[in-house]
Structure 1
């Protein structure tokens, strides 16, 4: 065998080996190589998750990175399902339609599970229970008495639990709808509205940043509106997988670690205590 023949043979073997490695690498990615997509995600091997970007500490962007309680919970679920994550930030009111229409696999934005919402999407096992609050201008005359909202202009993010709750319980207030918290608080800062109704931890942050011009006037506990991950109706495989992941995250104490990172001062309901 000549040296040239040996060289050609060596090159051929190397090429075959490299091809084998490439094929193996694709196969290791599972569904990305055209394999099965048992969980029925939009893109095989990836969980496409819709969220907001301005609801600290739930989901917010800081130093160019999306983070927060809901974001970490969604990442932990995906990790346990062996999936990559693809986050899509949208206005809150667009999240459920996007899940229902199959544009998202699920949403993660502290979305409460309600009978009305269950008409369009399924919800995973619940992973949070919280408070909602009225953030008011200190000059508004709004107190901890809900009747003080009468005649006041109250901001709400369209499509939220606050929207539904205010329509039913704050009937004396004039409701002004916004696409997100930032635009509502900008209106509060300018005096266009007297108060804004939002999640308690988010209200806390805005109040702290207001230099004393805003206060949390009213707090409402909402155990009847537990939070879950909305999932497209009919995708039973993904729902079951997410349900099982959430149960494990709670049981092994991972949920508590994430919760205490973002809500160190809030009590932990019995249902979220570790059991392992």
Structure 2
């Protein structure tokens, strides 16, 4: 990580957790790694320079909606999560919302398409998109080289922070405090899973969703949780005795919408809609609404290389 990017680090509550199951205590199910570290996401290439963002996009009026290969014509069927605010979650009225999903609604509107969201687990999402159970995956997905071998991605619409979340009185104060003696929790199949397993070379207990991981942190089943900072912030509530101990930025593997790797017309269409909402200020408005205290790094911008933030 370069020093220029480091100046944008945000302090927010995050927990790193190695989860283990204790049925007598009523803890949620987690999958623990074996004594040998597993290859959770080999080749995530978290430090590589971006070589995928397109130079420009197809003009909106040149998009042929009959060629998009949608499961339901006229509607983008989206797989997403229900428990990861402020990015992807279901609100009190039962509506799928959050920055990622509201942005996708705005992109679809530019294309005159409807959007239907369906809930799934992150560990299954990319395979479901590639198998055409969903047209699009919306879940703050980091675009690693390994994942690109199995699914397609749009241009980036967000950048990522990775955080370590702990109890406020924990001995773990930062990433450097994580060790083989730390019980570290992660969400299965995420970049954080890869980071703990393959970069730090530590064992992790893998959870299927954010609610379960955070619950195990609060009840002491794990010592820390390594998570995306935004989602960690969305889990932490006043009085939980938890906080983000440290947060680091990653703009190299931006987050993007997942699309079947063979469906280039749909990828092109979403890229066109994304550039349109960046150019008209919608992206900036939504970013301010969902991330009121966050600043965009000078080293990164959403959409293609041709569009500029107003």
User: TM-score range, shorter-chain basis?
Assistant: 0.7 to 0.9
1:95 pairs with 2:97:
no
Question: Structure 2 residue aligned with 1:151, among 181, 184, 188?
Answer: 181
Superposed, 1:126-205 pairs within 5 Å as 126-171=156-201, 173-205=202-234
Aligned residue number for residue 7 of structure 2: none
| Bigger helix fraction | 1
TM-score by length of 2: 0.73
- The residue correspondences of 1:1-276 to structure 2 (distance < 5 A) are 37-63=66-92, 64-171=94-201, 173-207=202-236, 209=237, 211=239, 213-270=241-298, 271-272=301-302, 274-275=308-309
Change in CA separation of 1:148 and 1:159 when aligned onto 2, cut-off 3 Å: closer
SS at the partner of 2:204?
A: strand
Q: Any conservation in 2 of the 1:113–1:228 contact (CA below 8 Å)?
A: yes
**CA-CA distance at 1:168 after TM superposition:** 2.7
Gaps of at least 5 residues in structure 1 are: 1-35
Alpha-carbon distance in structure 2 between the residues aligned to 1:198 and 1:89: 20
C-alpha displacement of 1:37: 2.8
Cα contact 1:125–1:247 (8 A) shared by 2: no
How many Å apart are 1:259 and its aligned residue?
Answer: 0.6
Matched residues in 2 for 1:149 and 1:220: separation?
18
TM-score of the superposition, structure 1-length normalised? 0.82
**Partner-residue secondary structure (3-state), 1:166:** helix
- Give the Cα separation in 2 of the matches to 1:211 and 1:274: 41
The one-character-per-residue Cα deviations of 1:47-100 (angstroms, maximum 9, x if unpaired) are: 001110110000111112211001101111111111111101111111100000
Q: How many residues align?
A: 239
Distance 1:140 1:174, change over 3 A: farther
Moved more, 133-142 or 117-126: 133-142
- Counterparts in 2 of 1:203 and 1:116: CA distance versus 1, 3 Å: same
Question: Higher relative contact order at CA 8 Å, sep ≥6: structure 1 or structure 2?
Answer: 2
